Amino acid sequence: MADFGTQDIRNIALLGHGSEGKTTLTESLLFASGAIDRQGRVEDGGTVTDFDQEETKRGISISAAVAPVEWKKAKINLIDVPGYFDFIGELFGPLRVVQTAAIVVGAVSGVTVGAEKAWDYAGQNGVGRMFIVNQMDRENADFSKVLAELRDKFGSSVVPLIVPIGAGPQFNGVINILENKAYEGSGKAVKEVPVPGTTADAIEEALAEMTEAAAEADDTLLEKYFEEGSLTPEEVLVGFRAGMKSGQIVPVVCCSALTGVGIPTLMDMMVNYTNSPEGTVTEGTDPKSGDAVTRTCDNGEPFSAFVFKTIADPFVGKLSLVRVMSGTLTPATPLYNATSERTEKSGGLYMQRGKKQTNVQILNAGDIGALSKLQYTATGDTLSDPNQAVKYPPIDFPAPSFSKAVFAAKQGEEDKVFTGLARMAEEDPSITVEKNAETTESVLSGQGELHLDVVCAKLASKFGAQAQLKDPRIPYRETIRKTVSTQGRHKKQTGGHGQFGDVWIEFSPLPDTNVDFEFVDAVVGGVVPRNFIPSVEKGLRENIRKGVLAGYPMVGLRAKLYDGSYHAVDSSEMAFRTAARIAYRKGCTEANPVLLEPIMHVEVLVPDEYMGDVMGDVSKRRGRIMGMNQVSGMQQVVAEVPMSEMFKYATDLRSMTQARGSFTMAFERYEEVPADVAKKIIESSEKEEDDDE
Ligand SMILES: Nc1nc2c(ncn2[C@@H]2O[C@H](COP(=O)(O)OP(=O)(O)OP(=O)(O)O)[C@@H](O)[C@H]2O)c(=O)[nH]1
Ligand SMILES: [Mg+2]
């Protein structure tokens, strides 16, 4: 591949709802530009960017993939980002390195939730936005309807730039409004044709809108526009680019990725109208002093690069996808990881296209490529010149919203499973694997059910390790509601060294269940020898880890040892620990023991129209509504819900609100489990115990 200067680079992420055609579009651009000589289809698993086995199997993208396209004098670094919400984590890296987010919408489906989310995330990252109305070849394709929806939803900054000639099976060309030129045909057979007269009025109107928007994006142009009432095509282009950068202009183009109509014009638009990375300024800090440091995207600046994705390639091993933020990168460039503060040595510098690597000798400022075998580098790290180090902020991945306990399906394969999962988390930082100290389970968390399914499938296909997922254990607690006094008597005197321990203990509930246990020594007169009293306490502390109802930790328990007896020979530490256990089991069983369950503080953010459903659903989950607030145009429902009712909430909320809702949850307190629910929990723990025996 040629070596492209910064001004000739275009970094563009394809975002949008699942199945709108982002992967097919990438394929179509690669084909039309000659990078591939056959256009693959998602259905056949033959595309460049859906190369992973799980992607071809399911017919959807799962990880973001880079596909550079050479077109005329420029290099368009396309990043094909999955649309499925389970893979939302794949969006955050690319948005840190591109100048343009091209949001793909269907000419039939119109504005979807995926488009709304892409719009918001791109806006939060200060990235220029455009819309690609794809699937114009489909029956019922309607560009003006979709354009109206886009303007209605996203505002007047949305302006048509490339409009269709015909629609559906008749869709055979496009018109570039700004150039007032029309093109028919697809792929390599595109030719310029006279602008159809029928569209003259529509074009004139769209051009007037575009000129006004371009004028508003640049003060000098605005002045001229007010004075003279018009701008030259060159001036409109300047205003247009400024508007894209500032977000004041969001152009809409159209095409069919499947037939290839409109694809060359789309690539022309990407080259001529979207912004290069040239001169972009990135803020960071000096890793040593913490002082603010900025770098400009220019070859003359000290080298720095941002790692926006990590992939585990079966052949070259670990690959770190980077964008050069300043300076240039060659295989000989000294690499200092300013985030891990380690010197790095790479195995090679590549241009990455789908799963393929091509060696390159240089990446200019602004360009995207891959480095292999970096040992101390993760996604979100900064690589820089060791003498002029700079660190950019890490990527803020979404917190996981769906968890499962994870086990090795086959005994003895634990290492394989958990090493594999650790590698997977390196590739996909939106999953986490954590050990729950209390339940001792390992918990795998991600963005949804499908996400965890895919993780397990990849674990099997890439690392040959089988994982099993289960609902995580709920860390229930037990406590007592009544004060009882009871005796624990352990006597074994059947020849040989006998055992004797005898205690009387009063068990009572503590006012605060946040205190697990309190031992009171109320022994008088040495009825229990001083040296055995700690054994009684120890015996109790050992046993309260397992409650009397369902084996969950006992909390809020006071035990007052006030009487007992001993045998001069047969009493021992062990005998009194056993006596304590007997007293504990008997006493607490009689003290009206109850189960306590963790209650979560949940905040759900939804558009108005879903509030009723969300509130109804909270009550179905034995939850309580604590309040409602307006938060940035959305309704926030604040509730308290038992943890056990929240397992599938991520999936349920997504289907309840068409993925427009989001939620956070955190532990609030423990509360008594209602009797009917407690009964089921006790039965299932008894069953589990039977199964274990
Ligand atoms: N008729 C028609 N079908 C298309 C077009 N583009 C894509 N498709 C079809 O739409 C389906 C989804 O296409 P993909 O390219 O996988 O969509 P995607 O946006 O990458 O989907 P995710 O990766 O899941 O986000 C496939 O069956 C494509 O063949 C188009 O322009 N016209
Ligand atoms: Mg895709």
Please tell me whether residues 573 and 503 are part of one structural domain: yes
Number of the ligand 1 atom closest to the C-alpha atom of 59? 16
Distance 65 CA to ligand 1 centre (A): 16
Amino acid at 287: P
Residues 489 and 463 in one domain: no
- Give pLDDT < 70 ranges for the chain: 1, 692-693
Distance CA 321, CA 311 (A): 8
CA 392–ligand 2 middle distance (angstroms): 29
- Give yes or no: residues 131 and 85 share one domain: yes
Q: Tokens for 511? A: 């006012």
The per-residue pLDDT for 693 is: 64
437: burial class by Cβ within 10 Å (0-12, 13-18, 19+)? exposed
CA of 44 to the centre of ligand 1 (A): 12
- Domain-embedded: residue 380: yes
Q: Are residues 137 and 260 located together in one domain of the fold?
A: yes
CATH number at 463 reads 3.30.70.870
Q: Are residues 496 and 553 in the same domain?
A: yes
Tokens at 204, concatenated? 């004139």
Residue range(s) defining the domain that contains residue 68: 9-198+249-273
Q: Is residue 225 a part of any domain in this protein?
A: no
Query: For residue 223, is it within any domain?
Result: no
* Strand segments (E) across 248-379: 250-254, 281-285, 292-296, 304-313, 317-326, 335-337, 342-344, 348-353, 356-359, 368-372
Look at residue 207 and tell me if it is in a domain.
no
Closest ligand to Cα 82: 1
User: 243, 219 in Cβ contact below 8 A?
Assistant: no
Tell whether 157 and 289 lie within a shared domain. no
pLDDT at 1: 62
Residues 410, 292, single domain; the answer is no
Ligand 1 atom, smallest distance to 24 CA: 15
* Contact (Cβ atoms closer than 8 angstroms) between residue 122 and residue 149: no
CATH of the domain at 335: 2.40.30.10
Q: Given this model, what pLDDT does residue 472 score?
A: 93
Q: Which of 565, 591, 617 is the last residue of a domain?
A: 591
Is there a single domain that holds both residue 505 and residue 452?
no
**Residue 536: inside a domain:** yes
Q: Look at residue 692 in the predicted model and tell me its pLDDT.
A: 67
Ligand 2 center–CA 20 separation, angstroms: 8
In total, how many domains does the chain have?
Answer: 5
Probe residue for ligand 1, chosen from 14, 15, 17, 19 as the CB with the greatest number of ligand atoms within 8 Å: 19
Q: Let me know whether 563 and 618 are in one domain.
A: no
Q: Which ligand is located closest to the Cα atom of residue 102?
A: 1
- Among protein residues, the one with the nearest Cα to ligand 1's atom 21 is 19
Instruction: Name the residue of 15, 258, 261, 266 to mutate for ligand 1: max ligand atoms within 8 A of Cβ.
Output: 258
Please check whether residue 414 is in contact with residue 467, taking contact to mean a CB–CB distance below 8 angstroms. Answer: no
- DSSP notation for 390-419: -BPPPP-PPPP-EEEEEEESSTT-HHHHHH
Whether 460 and 527 share a structural domain: no
CATH code of the domain in which 14 resides: 3.40.50.300
Q: Tell whether 585 and 601 lie within a shared domain.
A: no
Give residue ranges with CB within 6 A of ligand 1: 18-24, 41-43, 60-61, 82-84, 134-135, 137-138, 256-258
Residue nearest to atom 22 of ligand 1 (CA): 18
Pocket test for ligand 1, best of 14, 15, 20, 80 (most atoms within 8 A of CB): 20
CATH number at residue 527: 3.30.230.10
User: Is residue 396 in some structural domain?
Assistant: no
Classify residue 88: in a domain, yes or no: yes
Domain membership flag for residue 175: yes
Domain containing residue 658: CATH number: 3.30.70.240
- Residue 247, class by beta-carbon neighbours within 10 Å (0-12 exposed, 13-18 middle, 19+ buried)? middle
Note whether 178 and 40 are same-domain residues.
yes
- DSSP reduced 3-state for 360: coil
Four-residue CA torsion sign, 620, 623, 625, 631: negative
Lookup: tokens for 268: 């022309």
How far does residue 693's CA lie from ligand 2's centre (Å)? Answer: 49
